[in-house]
Homo-oligomer: A and B are copies of this chain.
Amino acid sequence: MSAFPVTPRTKLKRAPQRGIFERPQVYQILDEALICHMGFSIDEQPYVIPTIHARVGDRLYIHGSAASRMLRHLKQGVQACVTVTLLDGLVLARSAFHHSMNYRSVVMLGTMEEVTDLEEKSEALDAIVEQVMKGRTQEARGANAKELKATSVLVMQLEEASAKVRTGGPIDDEEDYSLPIWAGVIPTVLQPSAPIPDSRLAQDIPLPNYVQSYLQNRGIA
């Protein structure tokens, strides 16, 4: 898998050691994120809108109502930027100046186009549901013709992208290490908790195995 090229638009001028262009590492961050922030401009006004995404190979998909202003604008092929960010920790330094966050982010530049091939559209919608909960497409009632028609799927071919990652503890100025101030990292993670069954769920329907596994893998019994 080739790395993303370092372009003038994705090159990190500051803290270049935090930049990552290898596709496997970029995709790992992208795939872990549950939402992305989609950036586009209308009449010179930028908009940044959160939405669900899924990646298949080198293609990034989003979806929404066919009536959505955002999707109708994006599918004209305008320039877009899609960003995902995972927060990994609060970095408390001895000096206010060196406070920071640990994070992993991916910035993707390109254009969106509408997916009109029905097979690709269906696979993209499956990938989006799987992004929310792996295993879910095996059980959920699939989209019917009316729902497929009401939904637009857009794709960005991933050609220009980079990740930026900060890890580790605070980096203080040398003379500050002797200050009697606690310093360190408070890790953070997007943590699920016990599921809340739908109020109309029949009592004899158990929590599916794939949801149980998802929770167990995240420390929920």
Determine if A169 and B196 form an interchain contact, defined as CB atoms under 8 angstroms apart: yes
CB contact between A189 and one of B40, B126, B193, B214 (< 8 Å): that residue: B193
CA of A189 to CA of B189, assembled, Å: 8
Determine if B208 and A83 form an interchain contact, defined as CB atoms under 8 angstroms apart: no
Size bin of chain A's contact surface:
35 or more
The prevalent SS among residues of A at the interface is: mixed
CB contact between A92 and one of B68, B97, B133 (< 8 Å): that residue: B133
CA of A199 to CA of B177, assembled, Å: 11
Determine if A192 and B188 form an interchain contact, defined as CB atoms under 8 angstroms apart: yes
CA of A177 to CA of B205, assembled, Å: 12
CB contact between A190 and one of B50, B136, B144, B188 (< 8 Å): that residue: B188
A34 on the B face (CB < 8 A):
yes
Determine if A181 and B140 form an interchain contact, defined as CB atoms under 8 angstroms apart: yes
A81 on the B face (CB < 8 A):
yes
Chain B residues whose CB sits within 8 angstroms of the CB of A38 once the complex forms:
48
Q: Give per-residue flags for A177-196: 1 if the beta carbon is below 8 A from chain B beta carbons, else 0.
A: 10111111111111111111
Determine if A205 and B181 form an interchain contact, defined as CB atoms under 8 angstroms apart: yes
Determine if A107 and B179 form an interchain contact, defined as CB atoms under 8 angstroms apart: no
A3 on the B face (CB < 8 A):
no
Determine if A211 and B198 form an interchain contact, defined as CB atoms under 8 angstroms apart: no
Determine if B176 and A201 form an interchain contact, defined as CB atoms under 8 angstroms apart: no
A202 on the B face (CB < 8 A):
yes
Q: Give per-residue flags for A89-102: 1 if the beta carbon is below 8 A from chain B beta carbons, else 0.
A: 01111111101010
CB-nearest residue of chain B to A183: B198
Determine if A147 and B97 form an interchain contact, defined as CB atoms under 8 angstroms apart: yes
Determine if A192 and B187 form an interchain contact, defined as CB atoms under 8 angstroms apart: yes
A103 on the B face (CB < 8 A):
yes
Determine if B186 and A198 form an interchain contact, defined as CB atoms under 8 angstroms apart: no
Determine if B132 and A101 form an interchain contact, defined as CB atoms under 8 angstroms apart: yes
A56 on the B face (CB < 8 A):
no
Chain B residues whose CB sits within 8 angstroms of the CB of A117 once the complex forms:
none
CA of A50 to CA of B35, assembled, Å: 13
A selection of 8 A-B contacts at a CB cut-off of 8 Å is: A35-B87, A49-B83, A50-B83, A182-B206, A182-B207, A182-B211, A184-B197, A187-B192
